[in-house]
Amino acid sequence: MQAAVFEGEGRLVVRDVEPPELRAPDDVLLAVRAAGICGTDVHILAVPPGHPATPGVIMGHEYTADVVATGDRVDHVAPGDRIVVDPSIWCGSCPYCQMGLTNLCDRMTGIGIFRHGGFAPLSVVPARAVYRISSDVASEIAALAEPLADVLNGIRKLGVAPGESALVLGAGPIGLLFTLLLRAAGVGTLLVAEVADYRAAQARECGADLIINPRQQDLAAVVRGETRLGADMVVDAVGTLLEDGLRCVRKGGRVLLFGMHEHARPAVKQYDVTKYELQILGTYIARGTFPQAVRLLEAGRLDFGRLVTHRVPLRDIQRGIDLLRRGEAVKVAVFPEA
């Protein structure tokens, strides 16, 4: 079968690989329906890389699939079920797993990053990584379950109160998911900072009250003009913008760091963090939020489909990556070919 394989140093190659087989009694064999290209994938393929990955691995960690076969110990899904994949495989026995902090597992491994993922027609994953989802949800939308679950974990940490003001830094897929959910949570003034015109337009469609281009405007001045004191909360959906977040948040406000980049080294004035009682919150992947993400997608109340702006067959995956690098797409759905 054809699969998109990471070969190191920014190289993703679509080539023939052996189809996977069930090997463990708790394995599930999947026929991939659709997979999303994530910002993490783009970081992995950067030179130098912004995120580690194992050379030789089939990439793709945001995907939906149909169950083809299961191991003997699998009882919560059956052949024919439509599922979504939680790509974060935690050990269950380290101190953090025992505290319930499974997303901070000491021995965490990731499907599509450190073990084979969904940029292929077939995939084998542990049964505990799959959640059933209605087949009424379009495949390209169901593939949003993983980033949506991650964002829901961040929303939970923010403790949003209706009427508060929020600034989202970056209008990529994650920033737009935050925009949709913050608006749904009752945020009063919702600002988005974005430099790419294409993504700025998408943010406006997702409910942003004002789009700010930091290359053309004084970001902190505009935020204070709109909110009087500064934003109650700021979300860095990019991974390199902590300094901007601290400039734009009000005293006593919170800055949520979602985006990640290995080489981000911000200069933080710790004095101000203490004096102004600023809350800097890290949020990492999902923790117990996949069922909630599935319910949201099945309910169809929010227009998640608008985030999927481009669709490509697996053989053209590089075109999708290039679109994302240029800021000319939001979410690119990849459709593997048998």
- Output the DSSP codes for 40-67: HHHHHTSSS-SS---TT-B---EEEEEE
pTM: 0.96
Question: What pLDDT does residue 262 have?
Answer: 79
Does residue 338 have a pLDDT over 60? no
Percentage of residues in the chain having pLDDT higher than 90:
96
Q: Domain range for residue 133?
A: 2-146+287-335
Question: What pLDDT does residue 337 have?
Answer: 79
User: Does residue 78 share a domain with residue 28?
Assistant: yes
- Structurally, the chain folds into a number of domains equal to 2
SS3 2: strand
User: Does residue 277 share a domain with residue 295?
Assistant: no
Of 336, 300, 288, 304, residue with least CA distance to 174 = 304
User: Does residue 215 share a domain with residue 142?
Assistant: no
Residue 62 phi/psi, 5° resolution? -115, 100
User: Does residue 141 share a domain with residue 173?
Assistant: no
pLDDT in tens, 21-35: 999 999 999 999 999
Find the mean pLDDT for residues 297-317. Answer: 97
User: Does residue 213 share a domain with residue 114?
Assistant: no
User: Does residue 259 share a domain with residue 185?
Assistant: yes
Report the CATH number at residue 242. Answer: 3.40.50.720
User: Does residue 6 share a domain with residue 141?
Assistant: yes
Q: Looking at per-residue confidence, does 16 or 264 come out higher? A: 16
Helix (H) or strand (E) holding 290: helix 290-299
Does residue 260 have a pLDDT over 90? no
pLDDT in tens, 94-142: 999 999 999 999 999 999 999 999 999 999 999 999 999 999 999 999 9
Question: What pLDDT does residue 89 have?
Answer: 98
User: Does residue 267 share a domain with residue 294?
Assistant: no
pLDDT in tens, 222-252: 999 999 999 999 999 999 999 999 999 999 9
Question: What pLDDT does residue 311 have?
Answer: 98
Average pLDDT, rounded, for the chain: 97
User: Does residue 188 share a domain with residue 100?
Assistant: no
User: Does residue 203 share a domain with residue 123?
Assistant: no
Cα dihedral across residues 15, 16, 18, 20: positive or negative: positive
What's the CA gap between 194 and 191, in Å, rounded? 10
What's the CA gap between 313 and 127, in Å, rounded? 27
User: Does residue 141 share a domain with residue 156?
Assistant: no
Report the CATH number at residue 23. Answer: 3.90.180.10
Q: Looking at per-residue confidence, does 338 or 57 come out higher? A: 57
Question: What pLDDT does residue 261 have?
Answer: 82
What's the CA gap between 283 and 78, in Å, rounded? 33
Of the residues 241, 265, 282, the one at which a domain ends? 282
User: Does residue 18 share a domain with residue 139?
Assistant: yes
Of the residues 241, 256, 282, the one at which a domain ends? 282
What's the CA gap between 96 and 295, in Å, rounded? 27
